[in-house]
Chains A and B, each alone.
Chain A
């Protein structure tokens, strides 16, 4: 026999009456802390402090301590010169170019590179990007994310941003997929399953795919343009909220319903769990991302060697230079970006352009297309109409953002 909803609740009540005794509750330090972090007057400053602290740790730990202080020295000072010495064939050979160093022309002479950004071989740039820059970034990000997750801070943040996100048709809980996406878009997109309506899921997935850079990409951006990265985030945030607002108006599916969300009590994180999660996520990165970075290097290398890249660059030059105001050389990173965004950002470094063009390219790389892994999951999670909607949004956003940035650059005289 199955009970009706009312009769079942009635039975629950009767069972509870007999078995549960709720004593006097004594508020503890945890409750005080919980109060401080959700009340807007104190919660917003706390949230800003938490995010700022998160960012500083990310920059200092990943960027300064490991990448600059350790890996740059190892890769540029020892690994690259050593490979240049012992690897057979030498400069000018196609295999050497693919694996170690493509070199560059100086006064008509092919010269060897002196750093791993410019060499562009699988064993040099590929490994440097994957291990020297992205790995420390991933570790730093997931260490702090794990702490925030286990304490139970994220639901509090969700409560705080609920009002703002409701204006764009999303629920405060959207902060969870967004935060996860800042590590990697793939688990971020999966996490949208907790949202209630199809419309919310579609909007959230679109916004994540278009505007949220992943941890690997952020690590590279921080390494490449530390002074401008704040502007990149601001541009993306404006897009996230603005496009969200528009999508909410134009996409059918009605208003966003109120979801009741549990805010769990704060818990003391255990190092065991944080360590285990960090390990699962970092080893996942190694298994999936590193091969893709190296594969990306090979594919781009082959496109260059066969001259295909030049054809693509020539074909897209009018679009890139006239509409977006960036050099046609950025086509190579845009191609690589389909596979790995971190690799793509790294490929911008050797291209000659102004700081503003570099900034524009970094923003375009973020929004022009999600990486393949994310796109594959999007196809799984959305129906064809939603995928078309997502792609249409993407194209419109790229042209509007690229055009506006080009306009701003022209007015500012930054070319």
Chain B
């Protein structure tokens, strides 16, 4: 693995996660479109320094504005990167769409279910283990602003692997297991 890309919709907390992981200084704000260009930093993984990139938020891989174009070009230019798909846990569906797109392109993916606290506050329950089972990639609940779940996220980055979309199509609607948390 030579690079880690942080991708997700606008305002899901990618820059917060990036700053926590890389000890870097990307500007964080509570509105969509804070990051319009990418920021690079470094993360220590198994004693090795790996480049980590905070990519501007994008709704899909079909860019609608210049900031999204930057994001899509970034992804296309880094063929062997691991992608951390950051999802706003209170709006899972939207984040899943982009995550599936990235998986379909063949990238190894790990999902950060960020803003876990906001989802809880909104009385939204997500069965993370089941989601992990369906997607076949690691799914880690996080609260980036407080640093919760980040250690697990980092540890599990190496479990990220490419998945065939057919496998996901097959496992969805299958046996129900895991618990709601």
A15–B122 Cα distance when bound, in Å, is 20
Asked if B27 is at the interface (CB within 8 A of a chain A CB), the reply is yes
Instruction: Select B123's contact among A8, A18, A23, A191, beta carbons within 8 Å.
Output: A23
* Known pairs A12-B96, A152-B30, A193-B36 / 7 extra A-B pairs, C-beta < 8 Å: A8-B97, A12-B93, A12-B97, A25-B122, A149-B31, A194-B32, A267-B145
Stretch at the interface among B42-50, B65-73, B78-86: B65-73
**Chain B contacts for A267, CB-based, 8 A:** 30, 145
Asked if A287 is at the interface (CB within 8 A of a chain B CB), the reply is no
What are 14 A-B contacts defined by CB distance under 8 Å? A11-B168, A11-B169, A15-B172, A16-B92, A18-B127, A18-B172, A19-B127, A19-B130, A149-B31, A152-B31, A155-B32, A194-B66, A201-B66, A262-B11
CB pair A18–B134 under 8 Å, yes or no, is yes
CB of B39 to closest CB in A, whole Å: 11
- Cβ proximity bits A174-217 to B, threshold 8 Å, 1 near / 0 not: 00100000000000001101111000010000000000000000
CB pair A19–B100 under 8 Å, yes or no, is no
CB pair A15–B30 under 8 Å, yes or no, is no
Known: A11-B169, A176-B31, A193-B36. A22 touches B123 (CB 8 A): yes
Residues 60-107 of B at the A interface (beta carbon under 8 Å):
64-67, 70, 92-93, 96-97, 100-101, 104-105
**Chain A contacts for B154, CB-based, 8 A:** none
Asked if A9 is at the interface (CB within 8 A of a chain B CB), the reply is yes
A304–B128 Cα distance when bound, in Å, is 70
- Cβ proximity bits A28-49 to B, threshold 8 Å, 1 near / 0 not: 1000000000000000000000
- Cβ proximity bits B142-181 to A, threshold 8 Å, 1 near / 0 not: 0001000000000000000000111011001100100010
Asked if B51 is at the interface (CB within 8 A of a chain A CB), the reply is no
Asked if B22 is at the interface (CB within 8 A of a chain A CB), the reply is no
Q: How many A-B residue pairs have CB under 8 A?
A: 135
CB pair B124–A1 under 8 Å, yes or no, is no
A257–B70 Cα distance when bound, in Å, is 21
A316–B34 Cα distance when bound, in Å, is 43
CB pair A3–B31 under 8 Å, yes or no, is no
A1–B168 Cα distance when bound, in Å, is 12
Known: A19-B131, A152-B30. A14 touches B173 (CB 8 A): yes
**Chain A contacts for B104, CB-based, 8 A:** 1-3, 8
Q: In terms of DSSP, what is the predominant structure of the interface of chain A?
A: helix
CB pair B29–A3 under 8 Å, yes or no, is no
Instruction: Select B28's contact among A155, A193, A273, beta carbons within 8 Å.
Output: A273
In chain A, what residue has the closest Cβ to B131?
A19
Asked if A13 is at the interface (CB within 8 A of a chain B CB), the reply is yes
CB of A313 to closest CB in B, whole Å: 41
CB pair B64–A196 under 8 Å, yes or no, is yes
CB pair A3–B165 under 8 Å, yes or no, is yes
Instruction: Select B25's contact among A195, A270, A276, beta carbons within 8 Å.
Output: A276
CB of B65 to closest CB in A, whole Å: 5
Instruction: Select B180's contact among A21, A28, A152, A265, beta carbons within 8 Å.
Output: A21
A155–B36 Cα distance when bound, in Å, is 16
CB pair A280–B33 under 8 Å, yes or no, is no
**Chain B contacts for A276, CB-based, 8 A:** 19, 25
CB of B140 to closest CB in A, whole Å: 14
Asked if A411 is at the interface (CB within 8 A of a chain B CB), the reply is no
CB pair A149–B29 under 8 Å, yes or no, is yes
Residues 139-177 of A at the B interface (beta carbon under 8 Å):
146, 149-152, 154-155, 173, 176
**Chain B contacts for A262, CB-based, 8 A:** 10-11, 32
CB pair A194–B33 under 8 Å, yes or no, is yes
Residues 1-59 of B at the A interface (beta carbon under 8 Å):
10-11, 16, 19, 25, 27-34, 36-37, 56
